[in-house]
Amino acid sequence: MDRSNSGPGTTRRRLLALAGGAVAAPAILRGGRARATEVTLKLHHFLPPTSNCQVRFLQPWAEQVLAESDGRLQIDIYPAMSLGGKPPQLFDQAKDGVVDLVWTLPGYTAGRFPRIETFELPFLGAKTSAVNSKALQDFAERNLGQEFGAVHPICFWANDQGVIHSKTPIRRLEDMQGRKLRFPSRLTGEALKALGAAAVGMPVPQVPESIAQGVIEGAIVPWEVVPALKLQELVAAHTEFADGTPTLYTSAHCLVMNQDSYARLPDDLKAVLDGLSGQAASAMAAKAWDDEAPVARKLAEERGNEIVVIQPDETERWIEATRPVVDAWVQATEDGAALLEDARATLAKYAA
């Protein structure tokens, strides 16, 4: 954490670095400031600076922090792993103080966070990020304190419906047989295997090249991430599930902070972060996901891609095929049955 004061020379150098397109240059947050910056935090993530997550969530959130701290607390955003490492290492970068904050998916380190995996079970989540995120944040505050005790959580959220994007259409369960499809987290991979697919795990930035080179035939991602990957140009079909049915998968996301970086903040700056944490930050993230989904879907439609909507009767076949994945997770996870019951009840509460 950089506590140096920000003077005119520093600001000018930052702007020049941004204009020069330096690889590791952060997304500088500019605007009128009533007071000089006292603390600057580094936020690291794995998607491009043009990604929906940065443009519509991380950057507006950081701008709110700047405004509500009266210009005293600045957050510089470093996208696309520009500070080094690989996406699965992000959580440890925050835990170990390599950076101050990270946005990451706990599922990138399979099996390390079993309790948050509850929300990644197949056919559990709702179709909107708003419902999934409110429920996950609520669930996290009751159940994930120990699992995320090594960091200071800012918020948790979960994406909207999981969509299958593929080179050729997938209309029925039988169409999944042998399909080489990317999955984002362990349980989604297990679900794909149960459905007959050849599941391939990888962080989302690797998806475009892997499809282009024929390593995979498609990927399981929400609509929101499609434009950043230009996925609508790499596949010809998109399979989703009808309204009124649960979605194939959702992934849990988190924005977390190094414990010492938080502890060193003055109490009034801690209060600023606290006021923009929890459900407040989770709701900002969810809105970014839900607002972008129809825009991304329209891009696919305009290219003439086929959008398949699996109806409830067929969905039941998929749910039944993945039931062993849910049962095995319950048996292997401490308090698994109770966690699953809690998650279902919390999702139902916010869906209502």
Strands (E), 130-251: 151-158, 163-166, 180-183, 198-201, 218-221, 237-241
Average pLDDT for residues 180-192, to the nearest whole number? 95
Q: What is the CA radius of gyration of the chain?
A: 20
Give the span between the Cα atoms of 333 and 331, in whole angstroms: 6
Does the pLDDT value for residue 15 go beyond 90? Answer: no
Is the pLDDT assigned to residue 34 strictly greater than 60? no
Mean pLDDT of 234-238: 98
**What is the C-alpha to C-alpha distance for residues 76 and 28, in angstroms, rounded to an integer?**
6
Percentage with pLDDT > 70 across the chain: 90
- What pLDDT does residue 9 have? 43
Tell me the angle at which helices 279-302 and 129-143 cross, rounded to the nearest 10 degrees: 150
Query: Residue 110: pLDDT band by 50, 70, 90 thresholds?
Result: confident
The model's confidence at residue 3, banded by pLDDT at 50, 70 and 90, is very low
What's the confidence (pLDDT) of residue 22?
37
Which pLDDT value is given to residue 29?
A: 44
| Average pLDDT score, the chain | 91
pLDDT score recorded for residue 351: 96
Q: Is the pLDDT at 211 greater than 60, yes or no?
A: yes
Q: Which pLDDT score is estimated for 27?
A: 54
Report, as an integer, the average pLDDT of 317-331: 98
pLDDT tens digit string along 259-310?
A: 999 999 999 999 999 999 999 999 999 999 999 999 999 999 999 999 999 9
Residue 33 has pLDDT above 80, yes or no: no
**What is the percent of the chain where pLDDT is above 90?**
86
Domains in the chain, ordered, with CATH? Answer: 8-109+128-158+253-292 (3.40.190.170), 163-249+295-351 (3.40.190.170)
Helix 59-68 with 279-302: angle, nearest 10 deg: 150
| pLDDT on residue 89 | 97
The DSSP result for 223-266, as a single string, is GGGHHHHTGGGT-SEEEEE-TTS--S---EEEEEEEHHHHHTS-
Mean pLDDT across 59-83: 98
Kindly indicate the confidence band of residue 25, based on its pLDDT and cuts at 50, 70 and 90. low
Note the pLDDT of residue 32: 46
Model pLDDT, residue 228: 86
Q: Residue 87 above 60 pLDDT?
A: yes
**CA pseudo-torsion sign 309, 315, 321, 323:** positive
Residues 6 or more apart whose CB falls under 8 angstroms from that of 4 comprise: 10, 40
How far apart are alpha carbons 220 and 188 in whole angstroms? 9
